[in-house]
Amino acid sequence: MTRVVLASASSGRLQVLRQAGIDPLVMVSGVDEDQVVAGLGPHASFGDIVRALAGAKAQQVAGELDAALAADCVVIGCDSMLFVDGELRGKPTDADTARAAWATMAGRRGELYTGHCALRLRDGAVVHRESQFGCTTVHFGTPTDDDLDAYLASGEPLWVAGAFTLDGRGGWFVDRIDGDPSNVIGISLPLTRRMLANAGLSISALWQANPVT
Active site members = 79
CA distance 83 to 173: 17
Roughly what angle, to the nearest 10 degrees, separates helices 145-154 and 95-105?
A: 140
The b-or-e profile of 50-86 (16+ CB within 10 A means b, else e) is bbbbbbbbbbbbbeebeeebbeebbbbbbbbbbbbee
The length of the chain in residues reads 213
* AA identity, residue 86: G
Which has the closest alpha carbon to 47: 81, 74, 21, 20?
81
Interstrand relation of 3-7 and 174-178 (parallel, antiparallel or unpaired): unpaired
Report how many helices (DSSP H) and strands (DSSP E) the chain contains, helices first: 9, 7
DSSP H helices, 20-116, are 33-40, 46-62, 67-70, 95-105
Q: Cite the beta strand spans of 85-172 per DSSP E.
A: 87-89, 109-122, 125-140
